[in-house]
Chains A and B, each alone.
Chain A
Amino acid sequence: MLSLGTVTPEELAKARQRVQANTPAAVVRMGKLVDSYWAELRRAPAEGKKVAWHVAGPGTIFTVAAGMPTLLHAAYAPYCTARRWEEAPLQLANEDIGFLPDTCSYIRVQMALLEAWETGQIERLRSELRIPKPELVTCGRHCTEHSTLAEMAARRVGCPVVVLDFSSQGCVTEADFRQRARYCERQMREELVPAIERVSGRPYDYAKLSEMVSYLKQTALLRDEVLELMKNRPSPCGMFDLGISVGALIAEMGRPETVEYYREFYEECRDRVAKGIGVIPKEKYRIYWDGYSTWSVLGTVMRALSPRGGIPIMGRYLWGFYPHPEELDPDDPFYSIAYSMIRHTATKIFPQTAKDTVMELINDYQINGLIMLSFLTCRMWNVGQPEIAEMAERRFGIPSLIVPADVVDRTHFNEAQFNMRVEAFLEMIDARGKTF
């Protein structure tokens, strides 16, 4: 059972001050939900529960349904970073393991946790970060780093690993996607479920999975309502508010608390739209943000943009998590999740196929500039960015700015240079007469 908790007026004021924006109160509650997710994982051994780790892909739902609290690697690194606790794990990864600083920072942070456990150095990490080692690792490979991390982690602790091949490469027609989804479904039924049963020591709980998919669907449908509201000017919330809320769709997924969270978030946004209240006081630049939420410099980015009237509104990152919830079927969870991943997630966020999605988003959300983060440690995102920039310029006459940064490692970011680039970029939008 997760907990949403309550947010005090002081906590809300502090959060809003940090980003110099009128962050929805619901979003600030997300921190409480995240805390309870990690607490559940830390408690697991004492409660006699076995812990799984999940590296990208369809999410934690399959192992959580089997009663195994599950760490999502794409949530652990952001958790460390958003709380400014990433320095110790990065130091362990770079100095003790010997990772190069341009290795995927999610991998570095995750392997640092294992290194700390395996070498008796767990005290170097804050108590909140001491998540138990896995007894099963699952992975829905989106890039080679994902499967490498899953296999490395499992080898390090000597536990089973299931790497699911969730690739949509080569799929062109609807029939191709459906056939590939059947292949993914078979992998889940024939490899994932038996592995979970072996580790958990009990038959798989299909009823629980169906119930969780039902909650996931409700959550994602509400999220879509929020996305729809963001088409309004001024927007009731920003892209980073949705980025912060992504955990409810992939880490804390399939729980009733996530439905409650998104319902509150949606109602607050709906209320704001009705009253004409925006997330920033004077919305002038509606920015398309290409890349992850920059957990390491989220506040810095917002402080550079919001006082000048800039707000990141939309980005393909948000479309990576069950973008078409109507297709999720609690009565057919394996196939519907596989189809959703193959048909939509991969094609909407990966550079080779995301261009059309991005152009639609620019049009639908009345975007007047693109800021694209170029990640030294995640090249998968960078591929295709110049092409997206060129298309946006050609089709809509709006400029793009490519900025080097990292989601975790602050040493890859220069605040003074970022501020200067952003200022010049906004002046460039002004010069083109593209402001609202």
Chain B
Amino acid sequence: MIVAGVDVGSLYTKTAILEVNDSARQPKIVGQYVSRSGALYKAAACRAFEQALAMHGLNRDDVAHVVSTGYGRYQVSFSDSHISEISAHARGAKFLFPDILTLIDIGGQDSRAIRIDDFGGVADFAMNDKCAAGTGRFLEVMAQGLEVELGQLGELSLRSTRDVQISSVCTVFAESEVISLLSEGCDRVDIISGIHRAIADRMMGMARRIGIKERVAMSGGVAKNIGMVRALERRLGTQMLVAHEPQTIGALGAALTASRRVQKAAREEAGV
């Protein structure tokens, strides 16, 4: 049986397809797919889903259940049910790393610290306010201000030799601060490192609020940024687990939810 999860985020739409086999203990990941969300979430979700299915020679009728998540979850016309991305990320991360109890998730629009129970449920969570500070969007704006490719930020930050303090985490003011530091002759790599530290400090506030319990994993597109991972690890004082494809963990969690819901429905139907 095939199930799927679609995570429609503010910047990217992610799809995960799972194969659930009664004889296998764990569902098997068939494929994961990431594409830009753009302005039209509904169309982006359809496009991403169809492309993901096509890559694996599947069509919509092959999929028993689709769960949508993310900010655009209600825009996914073909989904059978939905789940909040906080629960989806918790479930997806627990599937990949069964011994984690804390998840740091930094996406395009939100940053969150999630405490996870033994069964992959959300025990507690804290997230950013109505502000882009400390999110993927914040890093995008900083990269533009520094004229650096977004994907280069992490590697560059690791070359830093001097601590530069970025006092503001407001996206607008931090950009001004970065420009001011550049004009003062600060090295770009030191500024980039300072940006990562500022985000890590902010994330620590959230993580402390829910109580950090090891082990800790990281999800979301920002987890691809090695500089951000290292900055957070230094602040947390522990090594984090990062998936090969951290951006699709929400979609994976949604697909796992789809699998559970199908199995539950089957059990109910069988009167078990």
> Which of A406-436 touch B at CB < 8 Å?
412-414, 416-417, 420-421, 423-424, 427-428, 430-432
Contacting residues, chain A, for B121 (C-beta < 8 A): 427-428, 430-432
Which of A413, A416, A428, A432 is in CB contact (< 8 Å) with B125? A428
Q: A404 near B: Cβ within 8 Å?
A: yes
Contact A412 B130 (CB under 8 A): yes
Q: A278 near B: Cβ within 8 Å?
A: no
Q: A399 near B: Cβ within 8 Å?
A: yes
Contacting residues, chain A, for B123 (C-beta < 8 A): 428, 431-432
Task: Compute how far the CA of A417 lies from the CA of B71 in the bound complex, rounded to whole angstroms.
Answer: 8
> Which of B95-124 touch A at CB < 8 Å?
110, 117, 119, 121-124
Task: Compute how far the CA of A286 lies from the CA of B209 in the bound complex, rounded to whole angstroms.
Answer: 24
Contacting residues, chain A, for B130 (C-beta < 8 A): 404, 412-414, 417
Task: Compute how far the CA of A386 lies from the CA of B206 in the bound complex, rounded to whole angstroms.
Answer: 13
Interface of A is mostly: helix
Contacting residues, chain A, for B147 (C-beta < 8 A): none
Contacting residues, chain B, for A423 (C-beta < 8 A): 83-84
Task: Compute how far the CA of A428 lies from the CA of B86 in the bound complex, rounded to whole angstroms.
Answer: 9
Task: Compute how far the CA of A423 lies from the CA of B122 in the bound complex, rounded to whole angstroms.
Answer: 12
Q: B127 near A: Cβ within 8 Å?
A: yes
Q: How many residues of A contact B (CB 8 A)?
A: 17
Question: Knowing A416-B71, A420-B71, A432-B121 touch, does A427 contact B87 (C-beta < 8 A)?
Answer: yes
Task: Compute how far the CA of A427 lies from the CA of B86 in the bound complex, rounded to whole angstroms.
Answer: 9
- Binary interface profile of B, 182-224, with partner A (CB < 8 Å = 1, else 0)? 0000000000000000000000000001000000000000000
Task: Compute how far the CA of A428 lies from the CA of B90 in the bound complex, rounded to whole angstroms.
Answer: 11
Contacting residues, chain A, for B87 (C-beta < 8 A): 424, 427-428, 431
Question: Knowing A404-B129, A414-B130 touch, does A424 contact B71 (C-beta < 8 A)?
Answer: no
Contact B117 A420 (CB under 8 A): no
> Which of B127-185 touch A at CB < 8 Å?
127, 129-130
Q: B85 near A: Cβ within 8 Å?
A: yes
- The chain B residues found within 8 Å of chain A, CB to CB, are 71, 83-87, 110, 117, 119, 121-125, 127, 129-130, 209
Given contacts A417-B127, A424-B122, A427-B121, 9 further A-B contacts (CB under 8 A): A404-B129, A412-B130, A423-B83, A424-B85, A427-B83, A427-B86, A427-B122, A428-B124, A431-B122
What are 15 A-B pairs at a CB distance below 8 A? A386-B209, A399-B124, A404-B129, A413-B130, A417-B130, A420-B84, A420-B85, A423-B84, A424-B125, A427-B86, A427-B87, A428-B123, A431-B117, A431-B123, A432-B121
- The chain A residues found within 8 Å of chain B, CB to CB, are 386, 399, 404, 412-414, 416-417, 420-421, 423-424, 427-428, 430-432
